Amino acid sequence: MRKPDVIMRHSHAKIPLRSLQVFEAAARCGSFTAAGTELGITQSGVSRQVADLEAVLGVALFTRNGARLTVTSAGQRLADQLADAFARTWAAVAEATRSDQVVILSMLPSVATRWFAPRLGRFMAAHPEIDLRITASRHLVDFAAEGIDAAIRYSPAPSPDLAATKLADETVRPVCTPDYARKLGLSAPDDLGRAVLLHGDIPENWDAWFAAAGCAQDPQPGPRLGDDGAILQAVLDHQGVALGRSLLVADDIASGRLVTPFETSLAASHAYWFVRPDSSPPTKATSAVQAWLLHAFGKDG
Same-fold call for 3-96 versus 100-164+270-291: no
Strands (E) in 72-203, as ranges, are: 102-107, 131-136, 150-155, 162-168, 171-175, 197-198
Evaluate whether 164 touches 158 at the Cβ level (below 8 Å).
yes
Return d(Cα 111, Cα 62) in angstroms, integer: 46
Query: CB neighbours of 134 closer than 8 A, spacing ≥ 6?
Result: 105, 106, 107, 112, 116
> What pLDDT was estimated at residue 281?
87
Q: What single string gives the DSSP state of each residue in 226-280?
A: S-HHHHHHHHHTT--EEEEEHHHHHHHHHHTS-B------EE-S-EEEEEEESSS
> What pLDDT was estimated at residue 122?
95
> What pLDDT was estimated at residue 222?
83
Distances (CA, A) of 70 to 28, 52, 108: 11, 18, 39
> What pLDDT was estimated at residue 2?
35
Q: What CATH number has the domain spanning 100-164+270-291?
A: 3.40.190.10
Q: Among 251, 277, 265, 271, which Cα is nearest to 113's?
A: 251
CATH 3.30.2310.20 fits 171-267, yes or no: no
The torsion defined by the Cα of 238, 240, 243 and 247, in degrees rounded to 10, comes to -10
Q: Among 35, 37, 38, which Cα is nearest to 50's?
A: 35
How distant is the alpha carbon of residue 224 from its chain centre? Answer: 21
pLDDT by residue for the chain (301 residues), tens only, comes to 333 332 333 444 478 889 999 999 999 988 899 899 999 999 999 999 999 999 999 899 999 877 678 999 999 999 999 988 888 887 777 666 555 788 999 999 989 999 999 999 999 999 999 999 999 887 777 887 888 999 999 999 888 889 999 999 999 999 999 999 999 999 999 999 999 999 988 888 999 999 999 987 778 888 888 788 889 999 999 999 999 999 999 999 999 999 999 999 999 999 999 999 988 888 999 999 999 999 999 876 6
Q: Dihedral sign, CA of 138, 142, 145, 148?
A: positive
Q: What single string gives the DSSP state of each residue in 165-179?
A: EEEE--EEEEEB-HH
Q: How many CB atoms lie within 10 A of CB 30?
A: 14
Q: Among 25, 71, 15, 75, which Cα is nearest to 45's?
A: 25
Return d(Cα 30, Cα 62) in angstroms, integer: 10
Query: CB neighbours of 127 closer than 8 A, spacing ≥ 6?
Result: 285, 288, 289, 292
> What pLDDT was estimated at residue 10?
40
Return d(Cα 171, Cα 247) in angstroms, integer: 8
Domain ranges of the chain: 3-96, 100-164+270-291, 171-267
Q: Among 179, 17, 1, 183, which Cα is nearest to 85's?
A: 17
User: What stretch of H or E contains 63?
Assistant: strand 62-65
Evaluate whether 103 touches 135 at the Cβ level (below 8 Å).
no
Q: Which residues pair with 132 in a beta bridge?
A: 103
Return d(Cα 75, Cα 293) in angstroms, integer: 48
Q: Which CATH architecture has domain 3-96?
A: Orthogonal Bundle (1.10)
Q: Please give the single-letter amino acid code of residue 81.
A: Q
pTM of the predicted protein model: 0.64
> What pLDDT was estimated at residue 209?
94
